């Protein structure tokens, strides 16, 4: 029966991902959370069975049931990725448990602290999902989302340490992690006047640094640069749409690389 518990968290992620799709496509519009979901082409109001995460998209073969217009694959990807992130968070934090006195294993999620820690990171990563796909769609990182992540991450400095929940005062190094990691990106934005790097990336990195710590944030940044560069080269060579001066959003690389570094505890250090 224990396999049902990770499955529950995966399903929870799918449901949250379905909600995040609404936020992504309605953010900065007049009805962020107002009204029922509709087809953006024919404005057909979707029934409940057209809104089942993953299943509805596959059953409808990626098309609107009413007008047969193709549905963006983004909906499917957001739900699937969020599901795996929520599952990954469960596996990571439940593994923080050990053996109870007497040798009987127990799950960390029985402790109320698990739910607090899990909810905190689930909320933070949900914000990151919205930022990543909004940036992919519009090539801009909304300040509201970056500041929300920054505030949430800053508060986390006072209530979490090494994934343990207790009130404490963070060290100077923890305070400086976000700004120090963001400083090179702000410098690139300044000297290039925004042509190399957007200021939104620097704002985002402040929150990321506070959220996951300097080691995993640096690992995420390193992976993001390499993966972004490789994809950019691939698109320039094999795609007729991209040229040397084409703009490729960096936030998705940064966000997903940092999430991977966090979930799998990757530590990449620069050696001189």
Looking at residue 209, its pLDDT comes to 96
Contacts for 173 with CB less than 8 Å, ≥ 6 apart: 214
Q: Is 193 in a helix, a strand, or coil?
A: coil
Asked whether 105 and 96 are in contact (CB, 8 A), the reply is: no
State pLDDT tens for residues 169-182: 888 999 999 999 99
Residue 182: Cβ-neighbour burial (10 angstroms; 0-12, 13-18, 19+):
buried
Annotate 66-84 with DSSP letters as a single string.
TT-PBPPHHHHHHHHHHHH
What average pLDDT is seen over the chain? Answer: 85
| Whole-angstrom distance, CA of residue 179 vs CA of residue 166 | 24
In this model, does residue 269 exceed pLDDT 70? no
Looking at residue 80, its pLDDT comes to 97
Estimate the crossing angle of helix 214-238 against helix 251-263, to 10 degrees: 130
Residue 30 — very low, low, confident or very high, per pLDDT cuts 50/70/90?
low
Asked whether 141 and 200 are in contact (CB, 8 A), the reply is: yes
State pLDDT tens for residues 215-258: 999 999 999 999 988 988 888 887 777 776 677 889 999 999 99
* Cα-to-chain-centroid distance, residue 1: 30
pTM for this model (two decimals): 0.89
Residue 26 — very low, low, confident or very high, per pLDDT cuts 50/70/90?
confident
């Amino acid at each position: 029966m224990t396999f049902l518990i990770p499955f529950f968290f995966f399903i929870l992620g799918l449901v949250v991902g379905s909600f995040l799709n609404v936020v992504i496509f309605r953010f900065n519009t007049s009805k962020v959370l107002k009204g029922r979901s509709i087809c953006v082409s024919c404005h057909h109001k979707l029934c409940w069975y057209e809104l089942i995460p993953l299943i509805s998209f596959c059953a409808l073969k990626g098309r609107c049931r009413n007008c047969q217009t193709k549905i963006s694959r983004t909906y499917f990807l957001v739900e699937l990725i969020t599901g795996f992130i929520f599952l990954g968070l469960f596996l990571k934090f439940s593994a923080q448990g050990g053996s109870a006195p007497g040798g009987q294993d127990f799950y960390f999620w029985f402790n109320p602290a698990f739910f607090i820690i899990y909810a905190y990171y689930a909320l933070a990563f949900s914000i990151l999902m919205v930022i990543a796909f909004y940036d992919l769609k519009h090539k801009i990182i909304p300040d509201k989302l970056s500041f929300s992540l920054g505030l949430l991450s800053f508060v986390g400095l006072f209530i979490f340490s090494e994934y343990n929940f207790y009130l404490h005062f963070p060290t100077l190094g923890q305070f400086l992690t976000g700004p120090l990691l963001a400083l090179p990106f702000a410098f690139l934005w300044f000297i290039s006047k925004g042509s190399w790097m957007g200021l939104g990336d620097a704002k985002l990195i402040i929150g990321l640094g506070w959220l996951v710590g300097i080691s995993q944030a640096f690992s995420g940044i390193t992976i993001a640069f390499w993966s972004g560069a490789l994809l950019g080269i691939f698109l320039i060579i094999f795609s007729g749409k991209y040229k040397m001066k084409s703009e490729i959003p960096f936030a998705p690389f940064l966000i997903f690389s940092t999430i991977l570094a966090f979930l799998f505890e990757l530590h990449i250090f620069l050696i001189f």
